[in-house]
Amino acid sequence: MAVAAIRYLVGFFGKQKFDSFSETLIKAFNAVIGLQALMGLALFIWTWMEEGFVRQRAEHGFAMIVAVALVGALSSRWKKLEDNKRYRNYFILILVVFAILLAGMLGLRRDPMALFS
């Protein structure tokens, strides 16, 4: 995630052409987020059968689904934008997805601020 964010930031400020490496980064980011969501769904179902429904896990799963939907939908929508706008939009998308995932992780803890201590 950090490599992609830095690449898109450098591409935006450097007014670079959107190359195949940048395209591969967003595809890899999409794949990794999707894989994390699938593994999380499998774990959610597994623990649901053993421990019952846990609201915090469901909220975390919902955050993952929102992140996957955002990356998939917006990255396909932005393919025809000019290069500078693609770099900017993908950088913002990565920041938004990071914020969504962080919010989902904070919801898993009883004391959300304990994550930072």
| 63 falls within a domain | yes
Contacts of 28 (CB under 8 A, 6+ apart): 4
| 86 falls within a domain | yes
Reported as a single tens digit per residue, the pLDDT across 14-38 is 888 988 898 899 899 999 998 988 8
Six token digits for residue 14: 């450097």
Structural domain harbouring 88: 2-14+22-111
| 117 falls within a domain | no
| pLDDT on residue 91 | 93
| 101 falls within a domain | yes
| 31 falls within a domain | yes
| pLDDT on residue 78 | 86
For residue 86, give the H/E element and its range: helix 83-106
Low-confidence ranges of the chain (pLDDT < 70): 109-117
| 116 falls within a domain | no
**Whole-number Å distance between alpha carbons of 86 and 94:** 12
Residues 106, 59 contacting (CB under 8 angstroms): no
Please, is 67 exposed, middle or buried when counting C-beta atoms within 10 Å of its C-beta (0-12, 13-18, 19+)?
buried
Question: How many domains does the chain contain in total?
Answer: 1
The answer to pTM > 0.85 is: no
